[in-house]
């Protein structure tokens, strides 16, 4: 056993009876242009993407990380970005071959690739399917040309419809990403977007509220957005229309048909583990006595150089015992079904007494409902999710909606 692994296995303050499921996230950081609302680690491609060198770096990154996950089966793979569909189908095929050669993948594993309509070429999505991708997530955001221009997207509505059409033909399961509360958007415009999206009968739909994040172009030059009351009306319309179309809201921003929930995201929300590979990728790895967070080097050129030298991780830290309740709840309370109480103890190594006072406060305010086995947010808890999650912060005060 390597000294590094022995270091993580040394005695600590936690007692995890079993390790959680382990997923794999692979970050491909380039895109055609940086969207003004985007705070992800994405970089506008200048010239040709260094695909082969980056794939070499990912392979080296994985090989260096193998001792930390040795023998653990991978339950899902998510290839995100950036715009991963900028990579060629041959490049994705090579990436998946490298993963299969080094990791035990679960049978019938879900392998998701993010794709944007601006990189769409006919038959390209079918080639990704042939390479081994099983699920495509198409970043449409809107089917309205004016709205797409206002949020800086590089594709138009016709390209969005063509991309979703091909995704529907090429994949048994796929996701459409939409955004709402966009600049200049009203209920009529959102209704039109939903009409178009639902006409494709997507098995999964993700709908995100546009927010202004620090260190983005929109933060420097904020657009005029719908007010909170209008955004709330929009969310009501989204939940009403998706339910009528047979999609269940199983997470705050996710709606799916039976059998099509995103396995990878479910693992996040259930506080599972994930190994993150690629520029700026984050990871969470559990050991019998501790939970570890890792971050890879952020800038692509630096990441490639460091990964090829066997030093892809820029920093890591052990999650403090006092922070684990909030980290667990930040994820688990996003799920409409909530979580089983035994899962909290299993995934954090902490007793239920660590969250009992906060659960009592949340229940008294009507933010959760619970029984002897499980906890789930109420409709009010979903509406005030940030306030509900904040109750589990270390030293949280008793503020929030009464």
Token pair of 33, please? Answer: 């242009």
- Given a cut of 90, whether residue 397 has pLDDT beyond it is no
pLDDT 10s digits, 186-215: 999 999 999 999 999 999 999 999 998 998
Predicted pLDDT of residue 34: 84
pLDDT 10s digits, 347-378: 999 999 999 999 999 999 999 999 999 999 99
pLDDT tier at 35, thresholds 50, 70, 90: confident
Percent of the chain with pLDDT over 70: 97
Predicted pLDDT of residue 122: 75
State how far the Cα of 208 lies from the Cα of 273, in Å rounded to an integer: 24
Predicted pLDDT of residue 314: 98
pLDDT tier at 262, thresholds 50, 70, 90: very high
Q: What mean pLDDT, rounded, does the chain reach?
A: 94
pLDDT tier at 43, thresholds 50, 70, 90: confident
What mean pLDDT is predicted for residues 214-237? Answer: 93
Reported in sequence order, the residue ranges of 192-326 that DSSP labels E, i.e. its strands, are 204-209, 248-251, 254-256, 273-278, 282-287, 290-296, 313-318
pLDDT tier at 310, thresholds 50, 70, 90: very high
Predicted pLDDT of residue 219: 86
What letter would DSSP give residue 318?
E
State how far the Cα of 160 lies from the Cα of 291, in Å rounded to an integer: 41
pLDDT tier at 46, thresholds 50, 70, 90: confident
Q: Are 34 and 94 in contact (CB under 8 A)?
A: no
pLDDT tier at 395, thresholds 50, 70, 90: confident
Token pair of 366, please? Answer: 């009507």
**Helical spans, DSSP H, in 259-340:** 263-269, 300-308, 324-332
Q: What are phi and psi of 135, to 5 degrees?
A: -145, 130
pLDDT 10s digits, 128-174: 999 999 999 999 999 999 999 999 998 999 999 999 999 999 999 99
pLDDT 10s digits, 74-116: 999 999 998 999 999 999 999 999 999 999 999 999 999 999 9
- Identify the structural domains of the chain with CATH numbers, from first to last: 3-267 (3.20.20.70), 324-390 (1.10.10.10)
pLDDT tier at 42, thresholds 50, 70, 90: confident
Q: Following CA atoms 136, 239, 387, 355 in sequence, which dihedral angle do they give, to the nearest 10 degrees?
A: -70
pLDDT tier at 4, thresholds 50, 70, 90: low
What mean pLDDT is predicted for residues 248-263? Answer: 97
| Nearest to 329, CA basis, from 353, 349, 355, 303 | 355
Predicted pLDDT of residue 192: 98
pLDDT 10s digits, 267-305: 999 999 999 999 999 999 999 999 999 999 999 999 999
Cα-trace Rg, the chain = 21
pLDDT tier at 1, thresholds 50, 70, 90: low
- Given a cut of 50, whether residue 44 has pLDDT beyond it is yes
pLDDT tier at 402, thresholds 50, 70, 90: very low
């Amino acid at each position: 056993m390597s000294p590094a692994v022995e270091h993580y296995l040394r005695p600590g303050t936690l007692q995890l009876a079993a390790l959680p499921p382990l997923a794999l996230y692979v970050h491909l950081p380039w895109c055609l242009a940086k969207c003004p609302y985007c705070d992800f680690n994405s970089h506008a491609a200048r010239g040709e993407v260094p695909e082969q060198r980056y794939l070499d770096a990912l392979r080296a990154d994985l090989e260096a990380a193998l001792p930390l996950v040795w023998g653990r089966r991978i339950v899902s793979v998510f290839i995100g970005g950036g715009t991963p569909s900028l990579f060629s189908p041959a490049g994705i095929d090579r990436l998946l071959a490298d993963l299969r050669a080094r990791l035990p993948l679960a049978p019938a594993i879900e392998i998701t690739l993010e794709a944007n309509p601006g990189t769409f070429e006919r038959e390209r999505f079918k080639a990704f399917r042939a390479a081994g991708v099983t699920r495509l997530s198409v970043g449409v955001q809107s089917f309205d040309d004016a709205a797409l221009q206002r949020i800086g997207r590089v594709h138009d509505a016709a390209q969005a419809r063509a991309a979703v059409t091909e995704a529907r033909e090429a994949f048994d399961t796929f996701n459409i990403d939409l955004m709402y509360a966009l600049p200049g958007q009203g209920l009529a415009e959102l209704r039109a977007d939903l009409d178009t999206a639902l006409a494709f009968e997507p098995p999964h739909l993700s709908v995100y509220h546009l927010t202004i994040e620090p260190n983005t172009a929109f933060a420097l030059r904020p657009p005029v957005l719908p007010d909170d009351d209008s955004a709330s009306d929009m969310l009501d319309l989204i939940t009403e229309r998706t339910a009528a179309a047979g999609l269940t809201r199983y997470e705050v921003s996710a709606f799916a048909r039976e059998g099509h929930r995103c396995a990878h995201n479910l693992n996040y929300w259930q506080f599972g583990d994930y190994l993150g590979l690629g520029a700026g990728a984050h990871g969470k790895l559990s050991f019998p006595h501790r939970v570890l967070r890792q971050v890879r080097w952020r800038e692509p050129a630096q990441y490639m150089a460091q990964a090829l030298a066997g030093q892809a991780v820029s920093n890591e830290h052990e999650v403090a015992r006092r922070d684990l309740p909030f980290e667990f709840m930040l994820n688990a309370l996003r799920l409409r079904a909530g979580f089983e109480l035994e899962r909290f103890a299993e995934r954090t190594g902490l007793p239920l007494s660590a969250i009992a006072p906060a659960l009592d406060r949340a229940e008294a305010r009507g933010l959760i409902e619970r029984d002897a086995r499980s906890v789930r947010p109420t409709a009010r808890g979903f509406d005030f999710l940030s306030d509900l999650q904040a109750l589990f912060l270390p030293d949280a005060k008793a503020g929030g909606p009464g």
